[in-house]
């Protein structure tokens, strides 16, 4: 999904960003989540359908095998975008180390640094990723599951919104910003309310973006894969629109009903080139059958999983 807006897309402020070439991929992802208000905990069950090496070789490349090892041994979870948008605990730790290095942050705004450190500290303290099993689906494609637990989600979102506001204020003051984007940012900052919000099980965001940028990224001028993805997002109850200089998007309802969203990810055809690496390098058994919807229901309701 192409994004031209000068300001970083807001979800990237909650998770680490890694751009990979020659990487593991999956054909589709299903995400099921539920907010436990009493515990202030968000539980997310992720299923990756059709996992394969994007290089297209008969076996995984060295880089792909390295990424597989990182997934198996570290806290990483991926969200719909070809293993690019991810929660990566190791990357967050490295970024926090950089922010604590006086030489690295010399001359940078103290307010931004403080808010970044606060958010990263919260992510490390309250986000946990647990790997579930690898398994075959009905078409004998390799799949995998993960359980992601976010405790004190309201505190984490508050910190993210504080960082977003500070970042937008700094960005709007930059002489390099186009005037249309500046006005969109200033209007968004003048409004009350959070940029990221979880109300019941509705996750919503608003973000300053010009009408031209919205059309290029998400509207009539967007590329075909983006339009297909957004059509599927809308069909499953999602909403994305532009109004008066802001993008508005949400998924889920304000009640206690869990939310499930399944979207296509890779446009490349599936190949079983990752199966051998799972069996040999990772020394894991691939289950012949696994009831992922049932496991998702148990986890989001109780926090327990296989």
The DSSP letter of residue 139 is T
The answer as to whether 142 is a domain residue is: yes
Evaluate whether 16 touches 88 at the Cβ level (below 8 Å). yes
Is residue 278 very low, low, confident or very high in pLDDT (cuts 50, 70, 90)?
confident
Q: Is pLDDT at 279 greater than 50 in this prediction?
A: yes
Domain that holds residue 168: 10-178+258-302
Tens of pLDDT, residues 119-154:
999 999 999 999 999 999 999 999 999 999 999 999
Q: Is pLDDT at 4 greater than 50 in this prediction?
A: no
What is the rounded average pLDDT of the residues 248-270? Answer: 93
Q: What sign does the CA torsion over 29, 147, 89, 116 have?
A: positive
Q: Is pLDDT at 20 greater than 50 in this prediction?
A: no
Q: Is pLDDT at 306 greater than 70 in this prediction?
A: yes
pLDDT at 62: 83
Tens of pLDDT, residues 195-205:
999 999 999 99
Q: Is pLDDT at 240 greater than 90 in this prediction?
A: yes
Q: Is pLDDT at 41 greater than 60 in this prediction?
A: yes
Angle between the 153-172 and 110-126 helix axes, to the nearest 10 degrees?
160
What is the rounded average pLDDT of the residues 206-217? Answer: 94
Tens of pLDDT, residues 65-124:
877 877 777 677 777 654 446 788 888 999 999 999 999 888 888 999 999 999 999 999
Closest by Cα among 258, 240, 251 to 297: 258
Percentage with pLDDT > 90 across the chain: 62
The answer as to whether 193 is a domain residue is: no
Strand order in the sheet with 202-208: 196-199, 202-208, 246-251, 239-243
pLDDT at 199: 97
pLDDT at 12: 35
pLDDT at 276: 85
Task: Please report, in angstroms and rounded to a whole number, the separation of the first and last CA atoms in the chain.
Answer: 33
What is the rounded average pLDDT of the residues 9-17? Answer: 34
pLDDT at 147: 93
Residue with tokens 């000068």: 6
> Cα dist. 270→14, 142, 158, 182, 227 in Å?
30, 9, 40, 43, 22
- Phi, psi dihedrals of residue 145, rounded to the nearest 5°: -130, 150
Strand order in the sheet with 142-151: 259-264, 24-36, 41-53, 142-151, 127-136, 286-287
Q: Into how many domains does the chain fold?
A: 1
Q: What sign does the CA torsion over 167, 168, 173, 177 have?
A: positive
The answer as to whether 173 is a domain residue is: yes
The answer as to whether 88 is a domain residue is: yes
What is the rounded average pLDDT of the residues 24-40? Answer: 93
Strands (E), the chain: 24-36, 41-53, 76-78, 86-88, 127-136, 142-151, 196-199, 202-208, 239-243, 246-251, 259-264, 286-287
The answer as to whether 190 is a domain residue is: no
Q: Write the DSSP assignment of 146-163 as a string of letters.
A: EEEEEESHHHHHHHHHHH
The answer as to whether 150 is a domain residue is: yes
Beta bridge partners of 207: 247
The DSSP letter of residue 74 is S
- Phi, psi dihedrals of residue 131, rounded to the nearest 5°: -80, 135
Rounded Cα–Cα distance for residues 124 and 120 (Å): 6
The answer as to whether 75 is a domain residue is: yes
Q: Is pLDDT at 14 greater than 50 in this prediction?
A: no
The answer as to whether 126 is a domain residue is: yes
């Amino acid at each position: 999904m192409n994004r031209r807006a000068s300001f970083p897309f807001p979800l990237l402020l909650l998770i680490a960003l890694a751009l990979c070439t020659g990487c593991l991929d999956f054909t589709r992802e299903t995400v099921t989540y539920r907010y436990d208000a009493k515990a202030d905990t968000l539980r997310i069950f992720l299923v990756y359908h059709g996992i394969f090496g994007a290089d297209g070789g008969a076996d995984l490349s060295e880089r792909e095998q390295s990424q597989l090892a990182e997934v198996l041994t570290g806290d990483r979870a991926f969200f719909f975008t070809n293993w690019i948008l991810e929660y990566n605990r190791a990357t967050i730790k490295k970024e926090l180390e950089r922010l604590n290095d006086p030489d690295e942050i010399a001359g940078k705004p103290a307010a931004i640094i403080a808010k970044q450190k606060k958010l990263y500290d919260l992510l490390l303290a309250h986000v946990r990723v647990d790997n579930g099993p690898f398994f075959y689906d009905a078409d004998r494609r390799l799949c995998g599951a993960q359980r992601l637990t976010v405790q004190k989600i309201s505190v984490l979102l508050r910190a993210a919104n504080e960082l977003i506001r500070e970042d937008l204020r700094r960005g709007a003051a930059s002489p390099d910003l186009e005037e249309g984007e500046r006005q969109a940012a200033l209007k968004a900052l003048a409004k009350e309310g959070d940029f990221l919000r979880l109300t019941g099980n509705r996750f919503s965001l608003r973000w300053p973006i010009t009408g031209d940028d919205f059309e290029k990224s998400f509207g009539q001028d967007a590329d075909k894969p983006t339009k297909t993805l957004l059509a599927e997002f809308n069909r499953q109850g999602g909403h994305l629109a532009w109004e008066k200089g802001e993008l508005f998007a949400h998924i889920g309802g304000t009640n206690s009903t869990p939310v499930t969203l399944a979207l296509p990810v890779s446009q490349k055809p599936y190949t079983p080139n990752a199966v051998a690496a799972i069996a040999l390098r990772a020394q894991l058994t691939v289950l012949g059958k696994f009831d992922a919807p049932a496991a998702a229901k148990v986890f989001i309701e109780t926090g327990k999983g296989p």
